[in-house]
Amino acid sequence: MNLIEVQKQLEEKNKKRNQLVGQKEMLMDHLKEVGYESIKEAKKARKKFESKKQKLKETYQRKETEFKEKYEELLNAD
């Protein structure tokens, strides 16, 4: 590799790094707009939300099954 190739690679990596830094700054701005101070805090909230969503989904499925069993003859009546 010659010096010109190395210099081009460094410029490309620096450009990519600057893009990533800009994206991170935009992400942080958006997170702050919705009330989170850090990415870690947002991840915790997301994990908590996903857990709650899963519990609700399981409850819904259980209640739906119970409903279908209870009112099976009405659901199948034509």
Residues 47-63 have pLDDT tens digits of 999 999 999 999 999 99
Alpha carbon 2 to its chain's center: 43
Q: Which position has the higher pLDDT, 72 or 17? A: 17
**Does the predicted model carry a pTM greater than 0.75?**
no
Q: How is the chain split into domains, by residue range?
A: 1-35, 47-78
- Contact (CB, 8 A) for 42 and 31: yes
pLDDT beyond 70 at 78:
no
CA distance 23 to 76: 54
